[in-house]
């Protein structure tokens, strides 16, 4: 719960508008107490969206199974979001289908069910720093934590520079960027600095 509180506080302090958290509800079935994390996110004024029940990779599964995984996630989302719009979908792994039939089929399914697709314009693999950070924190290895901080911020800057360069090549301007991030202890520590 402390990680979500830190992330929500950093978003507030940086004056970031309400930010979608995309949910794989499978882990709440395994650990029902984790629903409190989602409630804390909502209580901080942030909405939730669908990321499929089990983080299923569409390329590795039939379309019908993937659609079922999306639908299975909806009960939790509608309960937590009440009357607010939770009909945003982010593809797991950013994979939208390896065949035209899957791509068109899933888009048709999402359209029929009132979903909008959440795009991503910027990502730097932020989740990769969380596990090394946990190990360093356990050992109180401040030198390595500083190295993690430097590499994290450098990777984020490189990704932002690349995205901006690409935007200027394609559109001759900055676009409204969407940064993909994950919930983790290191992200919670670094988010305010990152923003």
Summarised one tens digit per residue, pLDDT across range 46-95 is 999 999 999 999 999 999 999 999 999 999 999 999 999 999 999 999 99
CATH number of the domain at 40, please.
3.20.20.370
pLDDT computed for residue 155 by the predictor? 98
Boundary (domain end) residue, out of 119, 139, 163: 119
Parent domain of 12:
1-119
| pLDDT confidence bin for 1, thresholds 50/70/90 | low
Relative to beta strand 179-180, strand 122-123 is: parallel
Count of domains forming the chain: 2
Position 180 in a domain: no
Residue 120, SS3 per DSSP: coil
> DSSP of 28-43, one letter per residue?
HHH-GGGHHHHHHHHH
Q: What are phi and psi of 98, to 5 degrees?
A: -100, 0
Evaluate whether residue 155 is within a structural domain: yes
Is residue 79 one of the residues assigned to a domain?
yes
- Same domain membership, residue 71 and residue 27: yes
In a domain, 139, yes or no: yes
Say whether both 43 and 71 belong to one domain: yes
77 and 49 in contact (C-beta within 8 Å)?
Answer: yes
For residues 2 and 71, membership in a common domain is answered with yes
CB 89 within 8 A of CB 23: no
Whole-model pTM: value is: 0.93
**Encoding tokens for residue 5?**
């509180």
Measured distance CA(191)–CA(44) in Å, rounded: 16
Number of alpha carbons in the 13 Å side-chain half-sphere of residue 36: 8
Residues 99, 137 within the same domain = no
């Amino acid at each position: 719960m402390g990680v979500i509180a830190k992330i929500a506080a950093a978003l507030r302090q940086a004056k970031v508008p309400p930010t979608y958290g995309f949910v794989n509800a499978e882990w709440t079935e395994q650990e029902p107490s984790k629903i409190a994390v989602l409630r804390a996110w909502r209580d901080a004024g942030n909405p939730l969206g669908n990321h499929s029940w089990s983080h299923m990779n569409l390329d590795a599964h039939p379309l019908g199974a993937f659609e079922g995984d999306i639908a299975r996630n909806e009960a939790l989302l509608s309960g937590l979001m009440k009357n607010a719009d939770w009909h945003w979908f982010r593809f797991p792994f950013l994979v939208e289908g390896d065949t035209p039939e899957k791509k068109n089929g899933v888009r048709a399914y999402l359209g029929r069910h009132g979903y909008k697709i959440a795009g991503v314009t910027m990502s730097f693999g932020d989740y990769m720093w969380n596990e090394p950070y946990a190990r360093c924190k356990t050992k109180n290895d401040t030198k390595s934590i500083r190295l993690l901080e430097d590499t994290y911020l450098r990777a984020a800057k490189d990704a932002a520079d690349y995205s901006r360069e690409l935007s200027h090549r394609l559109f001759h301007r900055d676009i409204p960027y969407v940064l993909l991030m994950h919930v983790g202890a290191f992200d919670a520590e670094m988010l305010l600095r990152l923003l």
